[in-house]
Amino acid sequence: MSMLADEADLVAPGLRWAPGFSALGPAFLTELQPRPLPEPYWVGRSGSAARLLGLDDSWLQSDEGLAAFTGNLPIAGTRPYATVYSGHQFGVWAGQLGDGRAIMLGETAGGLEVQLKGAGPTPYSRMGDGRAVLRSSIREFLCSEAMHGLGIPTTRALCVTGSDARVRREELETAAVVTRLAPSFVRFGHFEHFAANQRDGELRALADHVIDRHYPECRHSDRFDGNAYAAFLEAVSERTAALLARWQAVGFCHGVMNTDNMSILGLTIDYGPFQFLDGFDPRHICNHSDTAGRYAFNQQPNVAYWNLFCLAQALLPLIGDQQVAVAALESYKTVFPSEFEDRMRAKLGLAEAADGDRQLIEGALRLLAQEKVDYTIFWRRLSQAVADGDTGPVRDLFIDRAGFDAWWASHAARRAGTPAAETARRMLGHNPKFVLRNHLGQQAIEAAAARDFSGVATLLALLESPFDEHAGHEEFAGFPPDWASTIEISCSS
Ligand code: AMP
Ligand code: MG
C-alpha cells in the first residue's frame, strides 16, 4: 500500500502522521478501512481535544471533518488498522479478543493515536457488528472529557458522529462513532495475548516499544538489578495505583475492569457501564450484567491488583524470575493507600499529612455510607460550609446530626492553624460541583436521539471545568431524580 495520498483522500489541516505502534508489523495488527455509515451528522465535538491534536478547528467542524471522523473518507497519510489482544473477562481467561469495533487511523507526529470506535467490523469482531450505539458513544465522549476536567488520567474524545443506520442490541438503536485519542491504546491484554501464545519474540518487541515510547526511564533504572522489564511492571503498577486512588476519591465506578480494559499507561479506558456514585454505597454495582459484584465500587482497587498480577504473569518470560515479578507488584500495596490518602486530604482541604488523617477520612466515609449520603453533593457542600462558616446545608444531608457534628468538630480542629478561606479554596478546587451522573447523560442521550444535541454541548461545557460554579446551571448539580435509580446500564453498547 502506498504512503502517498490518494487524490480522493482528505487532507486534515494541522494533522501530521508518523509511524508508531503500526511499525511493530502484521503480527500485531490488521490493516483495513473503516466501513462508511450513511448520512452522518454531528453529535458533539471537543474543542480542547482538537487543540491537543493540533487539528484546525474549522476543519473539524466541516463536512470533510464529519466524513473523516465517521470513517466515510480516508485521511491522507493514514493506514488504518485494528490490533489484536486477549484478556481475562470477569476473572476468566477469554482468549483472543482484539479491536472488534475500534479502528486506529494512525499516530500523529505529536504522539497521539487517533482511533474511531464503532467504525465497522474487523477480523477481531467475533460475533459483533463492529458498531457502537449512540447512547454509549455519547456516554464515552462526555465521560472522557469529564475525567480530563477532573484531572484523572484518561483517553480523550475528539468528537461523536451519528447516523440513522440501525444497530440491533436488546432493541433497535442507531449507530455512532467516537473518535478517541491517547498516547497509546495498548492494554494489559496485548501482553497477555503474546504470552498465552508463547510468542516471546513479539512479547519482547511489544514491551520494548511501550518502554521506549512511554517508560524510557525504565531502561536506566537501578531497580531490580537493572531488569528493565521488572522496572516497567513496577511503573505500570504505580500508575495503576495512582489511577485507582483517583477513581475511589471521586466516586467513579468503571464497571468492566477486565484485563483488556486496563491501559498500560494507567489511563481510564473503554467507558461502558461506568457510573459516578450518587448516594455513597461502597458496595455499589454499576454494571447490570455484573450479578456477582466482581466490579463493585469497593472491589476496584483489589481487582486492579489482580489484573496487574495477570500482567506480571504475561511479562514473566521477559522478567525471567517469578520472585522479581512479584516484587515488582509490591509497591501497588503502598502507593494505592498513600495516593488515596493524598487525594482525600485534598478533598478535606489539607495541604500536609498529619497523624490521624486516616481516621478523619474513614470517619467521613463511614458517616456517608451509613445513610448513603450523596457523595458529590456532600463534598461540595462541605467545601461551601468551610467557605461560608455555615454548616446548615451540609448538616442537613444527615439524619445522624450528632454524628456529623462530631466529625465536623474533628475536621475543624485539624485545619485550625490555616485560614478558613485558604482551606475552602483548596476544597472547592478538589471537590467537583459537576460529575456525569447517569441521569444527566440519559437526558442528553434522549434529546440527541430526537436530534437535539444542545444537551450534549451543555454537559460538555460544564464537565470540562467541573470545579467552576457555572451560575445558572444548578439543576445539573442537584440530587438525582427518583427515576435515576431505575436506569439499568449493562455491557451492551
Ligand atoms: P468491551 O466490553 O466493550 O470492552 O468489549 C470487549 C470485546 O468485545 C472487545 O474485543 C471489543 O472489541 C468487542 N466488541 C464489543 N462490542 C462489539 C461489537 N459491537 N462488534 C464487534 N466487537 C465488539
Ligand atoms: Mg474493551
1-5, 366-370, 379-383, 427-431: least confidently modelled range: 1-5
Q: Residues 38-90: pLDDT tens digits?
A: 999 999 999 999 999 999 999 999 999 999 999 999 999 999 999 999 999 99
Confidence band, pLDDT 50/70/90 cuts, at residue 5:
low
Task: Give pLDDT, residue 206.
Answer: 98
* HSE toward the beta carbon, residue 477, CA cutoff 13 A: 21
Q: Residues 122-158: pLDDT tens digits?
A: 999 999 999 999 999 999 999 999 999 999 999 999 9
Distance 128 CA to ligand 1 centre (A): 7
What is the best residue among 101, 115, 134 to mutate for testing ligand 1's pocket, by most ligand atoms within 8 Å of CB? 101
Phi and psi at residue 27, in whole multiples of 5°?
A: -70, -15
Cell numbers placing 386: 468551610
Ligand at shortest distance from the CA of 262: 2
Query: Is residue 465 pLDDT above 70, yes or no?
Result: yes
* Domain boundaries defined on the chain: 17-188, 189-342, 350-428
Cα–Cα distance for residue pair 370/399, rounded to 1 Å: 10
**Mean per-residue pLDDT, 400-423:** 98
Task: Give pLDDT, residue 166.
Answer: 98
**Mean per-residue pLDDT, 443-461:** 98
Cα–Cα distance for residue pair 297/293, rounded to 1 Å: 9
**Mean per-residue pLDDT, 5-11:** 78
Task: Give pLDDT, residue 4.
Answer: 54
Task: Give pLDDT, residue 87.
Answer: 98
List pocket residues of ligand 1, CB cut-off 6 Å: 97-101, 124-125, 128-131, 256, 261, 270, 272, 491
Residue 353 contacts by C-beta under 8 Å, 6 or more apart in sequence?
Answer: 341, 342, 345
Ligand at shortest distance from the CA of 273: 1
Residue owning the nearest CA to atom 5 of ligand 1: 100
Exposure b/e, 64-83, CB count within 10 A at least 16 = b:
bbbbbbbbbbbbbbbbbbbb
Find the Cα–Cα–Cα–Cα dihedral 445, 446, 448, 449, rounded to 10°.
120
**Mean per-residue pLDDT, 411-438:** 98
Residue at grid coordinates 436506569: 487
SS3 sequence of 159-219: EEEEEEEEEECCCEEEEEEEEEEECCCCEHHHHHHHHHCCCHHHHHHHHHHHHHHHCHHHH
Locate the ligand 1 atom nearest the alpha carbon of residue 272 and give its number: 3
What number of residues does the chain have?
Answer: 493
Q: Residues 172-194: pLDDT tens digits?
A: 999 999 999 999 999 999 999 99
Distance 281 CA to ligand 1 centre (A): 29
Task: Give pLDDT, residue 1.
Answer: 41
DSSP string, 92-134: EEEEE---SSEEEEEEBTTS-EEEEET----TT-TTS-S-EEH
**Mean per-residue pLDDT, 253-270:** 98
pTM above 0.75, yes or no: yes
When the pLDDT of each residue in the chain is averaged and rounded to a whole number, the result is 97
3-class SS at 20? coil
Exposure b/e, 177-212, CB count within 10 A at least 16 = b:
bbbbbbbbbbbbbbbbbbbbeeeeebbebbbbbbbe
Share of the chain above pLDDT 70, in %: 99
Q: With DSSP H G I counted as helix, E B as strand and the rest as coil, what are the percentages for the chain, rounded to 5?
A: 45, 15, 40
What is the best residue among 37, 83, 97, 295 to mutate for testing ligand 1's pocket, by most ligand atoms within 8 Å of CB? 97
Confidence band, pLDDT 50/70/90 cuts, at residue 223:
very high
Exposure b/e, 215-242, CB count within 10 A at least 16 = b:
beebeebebbeebbbbbbbbbbbbbbbb
Distance 266 CA to ligand 2 centre (A): 15
Give the angle 461-463-467 at the CA atoms, nearest 5°: 110
Residues 43 and 66: beta-carbon distance below 8 Å:
no
Task: Give pLDDT, residue 2.
Answer: 42
Confidence band, pLDDT 50/70/90 cuts, at residue 491:
confident
Query: Is residue 332 pLDDT above 80, yes or no?
Result: yes
